[in-house]
Chains A and B, each alone.
Chain A
Amino acid sequence: DQQVKQNSPSLSVQEGRISILNCDYTNSMFDYFLWYKKYPAEGPTFLISISSIKDKNEDGRFTVFLNKSAKHLSLHIVPSQPGDSAVYFCAANPSSNHKLTFGKGTLLTVNP
């Protein structure tokens, strides 16, 4: 079941530069999309979300872009900081239920 795909298992960027994490989905019923950040031995921490009626949502250094026609979303972090180093999960659910479907995650490493 690969309804939410994060094709890059890892990403390394320099401090101060932009980090771009990508996510693709196949289920056209998905209506709400979220990004979570996870440190080892902790639970997923909510970062930012976007509903399907929007194509962009911004919160400080974090911006999520949604391209519904391409079934693609991305998370931009700018400027990246070493404390951003973590696994980032993309997740989605349809409007009909609360069942979140997660991607496999992308390990982001921000180098000082």
Chain B
Amino acid sequence: EPEVTQTPSHQVTQMGQEVILRCVPISNHLYFYWYRQILGQKVEFLVSFYNNEISEKSEIFDDQFSVERPDGSNFTLKIRSTKLEDSAMYFCASSADTSGRSTDTQYFGPGTRLTVL
């Protein structure tokens, strides 16, 4: 069964450093997402990406964040200058958008645990 994969599973970085989190969405999916979950809190939407551009983003997704689909398979989240409060689980997801509406199920990867020291 196809699945979303993410690397690395755990990333430790120093405050102020740049990190890139990587995801390989399900191959025939068209919509890609990043969510995060700070320890003890809800899973929160960050950004959605379709047709090589951001389609929606939350207020969390400020200028320190960027996303890219550098090739036909990878989808990345970059944090330019990490802060302590960026420590969280980051989940990538993808959906097929076969219906043309927002009712395609989002399938999640296993997550990357980011620890900012």
- Chain B nearest Cβ from A5, distance in angstroms: 10
Chain B minimum-CB-distance residue to A48: B105
List residues of A (56-111) whose CB comes within 8 Å of B's CBs.
Answer: 89, 91, 93-105
Q: CB < 8 Å: which of A36, A45, A101, A105 contacts B45?
A: A101
Measured as residues with beta carbon below 8 angstroms from the partner, the interface class of chain A is: 20 to 34
- The answer to the question of B107 belonging to the interface, with a C-beta cut-off of 8 Å to chain A, is yes
Q: B56 to A98, Cβ gap below 8 A? A: yes
Q: CB < 8 Å: which of B48, B101, B102, B110 contacts A43?
A: B110
Q: B31 to A98, Cβ gap below 8 A? A: yes
Measured as residues with beta carbon below 8 angstroms from the partner, the interface class of chain B is: 20 to 34
List residues of B (91-116) whose CB comes within 8 Å of A's CBs.
Answer: 91, 95, 101-103, 105-111
Q: B4 to A93, Cβ gap below 8 A? A: no
Q: CB < 8 Å: which of B43, B55, B105, B110 contacts A102?
A: B43
Q: A98-B31, A99-B48, A101-B45 are in contact. List 9 more A-B contacts (CB 8 A).
A: A41-B110, A43-B110, A43-B111, A46-B107, A98-B48, A98-B95, A100-B35, A102-B42, A103-B42
Q: Which residues of A contact B (CB under 8 A)?
A: 31-32, 34, 36, 41-46, 49, 51, 89, 91, 93-105
Q: Which residues of B contact A (CB under 8 A)?
A: 4, 6, 31, 33, 35, 41-45, 48, 55-56, 58, 91, 95, 101-103, 105-111
Counting from the closest, the 9 A-B pairs by CB-CB distance are A43-B108, A102-B43, A44-B108, A32-B103, A43-B110, A99-B45, A98-B48, A43-B111, A98-B102
